[in-house]
Structure 1
Amino acid sequence: MMSPECHTEPGAGFKRPKVSLCIPAFQAGPFLRDTLDSVLAQDFPDLEIVVVDNNSTDETALILDRITDLRVRVVRNQTTLTAEENHNLAVKLSRGEFVKVISADDTLMSNCVAAQAAVLENNPDVTVVASRTDFIDDAGALLFPARGLRGILGRQTGQRVIRQIVRSAKNPVGAPVSVMFRRSDFDRCGGFRGPNLFTLDMDLWTRLLRFGHFYGMPETLAAYRIRGGSLTALTSARSQLEQQDRFTRRLIDDPRWEIPYVDQLVGKLNRYDVLLKRALLFKLSSVREARRRQRTG
């Protein structure tokens, strides 16, 4: 793996920011500007924004070249890394105490960083904080409001969250855009870990929860874009199911979580229903986008 360009170490007088917003970007041109606008509009002043362009060949580089805000640090990979490697690199290059990873097509509400940083600041035993998330389509139109955190709102133990993952047969915590965690805990648990892309986020959340509690915020503070060309959408239903099953099996086999048999049984019953709903959601977004192109074409 070749070293990224544009990376400089902080000088002796460098002041560590409280929060780092990390954006791994690859072929992100159609949505990157919206993502950047949302992170630059945060009402929390003590932050940095680290964008890692994963050797994109579209307009990603041009969009980043136009950014003049001094809070933004752009890193360009000389070769294309895997999604796991690029996510880890984005966090590795961050300097904040608290970290939020944001896909280059998702967006934040203006108070998101301030609200989540306050939870971590006031609760030193909380390792993962997450908010509810709006689901939007390619054009940014609302698909479904306030999704996520079913059964895990408020302060929860790690075991309670793990049980809900198994029971629901999905990711109740949410995508990275909905989550904030401590950089020190990320380093301790080893960061994002492959090779299964579909469970990459959940795997990190479960390992972070070995070190402390979870807090589910009732507020909707982010938007997750459901789009037909995303890596999740391009992963086959069979592959998604296999990855989810392997991941769930690891949680059940881990004695620290003590997953009751009833949760395992409910999860088995839910798995196909969840997969069908997920496929229909991405299909709905694709149909909307196709209709828009027909109208504008």
Structure 2
Amino acid sequence: MNQYGAVPRVSVVVPAFNNAPHIEATVHSILSQTYSDFELIISDHSSTDGTWERLQAVAADPRVRLMRIASGGGAPANWRAVTDQGRGEFLKLVCGDDLLYPTSLAEQVAAFDQHPSAVLVASRRDVVDETGVPVVRSRGLQHLHGLVEGVTAIRRTVRAGTNVFGEPACVMFRRQVLADSGGWDARSPYLIDQATCSRVLMSGSMVAVRQSLAGFRISAQQWSVTLAGEQSRHARAFHKLIAAEHPGLLSRGDIWIGDARATLMAAKRRAAYVWLRRRMGR
């Protein structure tokens, strides 16, 4: 017990920054969960677009805590600040424009209860446009399903050349394992979620839930052809970093295949971004 009352089982944390167009939908999707034993902590990173003002609508909800941090440090600073406030056994980070589907928390807590050895649970997700309409359904996890050994999952994400775990809204961690692993791994700003999942998975297994439990919002303004190339370059550097930090975990073949697929994924992303811009009429 503390000044906020009984410790909830799940901490949902939202690092917000200039998310005024979508923050209300994001918060509503969290507060509408079928699972009730959770707290919601939202950290505004000194937004200038009215995000903080919009958040006042939920300030009186006993499940919600609002906080602000000073500008600086980029997204990793806000991710760490809001995560540090979590008290639950499990933790889920949801970016300030993404969506949780109604049974997300219930399904992932149930997976943890069924598999006590798991340190994280990941689900599939839909890619949604600026209005929340799915443009790609049920993406992620490659061929992973059920309980998967951590090292197996790490090899799979390297060989895939992309993040098979999905964005943070798709993932729930054992909070203490995340903290003991060093928290969010921000050495590569484009791969903070994939790198963090991989580091946590050195401590245990994961559960892959094939159901789509989140919506990852993508907009033509956020993404670019240049970003696709940067992601590919950072992915190749990430593969080499994993190999250096954990000798014997990856083979030369794993790295070669992962690097080749990362390059291929960059080409696919470029095509997707062009298509998205045309779809949005820009």
**TM-score (norm: length of structure 2):** 0.93
Report the equivalent of 1:237: 228
Kindly indicate whether the alpha-carbon contact (under 8 Å) linking 1:125 and 1:212 is maintained by their aligned counterparts in 2.
yes
Higher mean displacement: 33-42 or 254-263: 254-263
SS in 1 for 2:21: helix
Alignment of 1:97-116 (within 5 A): 97-116=89-108
Alignment of 1:46-57 (within 5 A): 46-57=37-48
TM-superposed CA distance for 1:10, in Å, is 3.3
Structure 1 residues 50 and 142, CA, compared in 2 at 3 Å: closer, same or farther? Answer: same
SS in 1 for 2:55: helix
CA distance in 1, matches of 2:159, 2:215: 25
Kindly indicate whether the alpha-carbon contact (under 8 Å) linking 2:240 and 2:255 is maintained by their aligned counterparts in 1.
no
Alignment of 1:1-297 (within 5 A): 10-11=2-3, 14-67=5-58, 68-230=60-222, 233=224, 236-255=227-246, 258-290=249-281
Higher mean displacement: 216-225 or 260-269: 260-269
Q: What per-residue deviation string (whole Å, max 9, x for no partner) do you get for residues 243-270 of structure 1?
A: 1111111112233552233322322321
Structure 1 residues 257 and 130, CA, compared in 2 at 3 Å: closer, same or farther? Answer: farther
TM-superposed CA distance for 1:18, in Å, is 0.4
Unaligned runs of 5+ in 1: 1-8, 292-297
CA distance in 2, matches of 1:35, 1:234: 27
CA distance in 1, matches of 2:101, 2:38: 15
Kindly indicate whether the alpha-carbon contact (under 8 Å) linking 1:169 and 1:268 is maintained by their aligned counterparts in 2.
yes
Kindly indicate whether the alpha-carbon contact (under 8 Å) linking 2:12 and 2:94 is maintained by their aligned counterparts in 1.
yes
TM-superposed CA distance for 1:177, in Å, is 0.5
Kindly indicate whether the alpha-carbon contact (under 8 Å) linking 2:99 and 2:169 is maintained by their aligned counterparts in 1.
yes
**Taking every aligned residue pair, what percent have the same amino acid on both sides?**
29
Count of matched residue pairs: 281
TM-superposed CA distance for 1:46, in Å, is 0.7
CA RMSD of aligned residues (A): 1.9
Structure 1 residues 234 and 183, CA, compared in 2 at 3 Å: closer, same or farther? Answer: farther
SS in 1 for 2:153: helix
TM-superposed CA distance for 1:195, in Å, is 3.4
CA distance in 1, matches of 2:139, 2:77: 28
Letter of the structure 1 residue corresponding to residue 281 of structure 2: A
Letter of the structure 2 residue corresponding to residue 61 of structure 1: W
Kindly indicate whether the alpha-carbon contact (under 8 Å) linking 1:138 and 1:285 is maintained by their aligned counterparts in 2.
no
Higher mean displacement: 51-60 or 157-166: 157-166
Deviating 4+ runs (over 4 angstroms): 232-235
Letter of the structure 2 residue corresponding to residue 76 of structure 1: R
Letter of the structure 2 residue corresponding to residue 96 of structure 1: G
**TM-score (norm: length of structure 1):** 0.89
TM-superposed CA distance for 1:233, in Å, is 4.5
SS in 1 for 2:280: helix
Q: What per-residue deviation string (whole Å, max 9, x for no partner) do you get for residues 79-113 of structure 1?
A: 34421111011110111110000011110110100
Kindly indicate whether the alpha-carbon contact (under 8 Å) linking 2:127 and 2:217 is maintained by their aligned counterparts in 1.
yes
CA distance in 2, matches of 1:234, 1:91: 31
SS in 1 for 2:147: strand
Letter of the structure 2 residue corresponding to residue 40 of structure 1: L
CA distance in 2, matches of 1:209, 1:141: 32
TM-superposed CA distance for 1:128, in Å, is 1.1
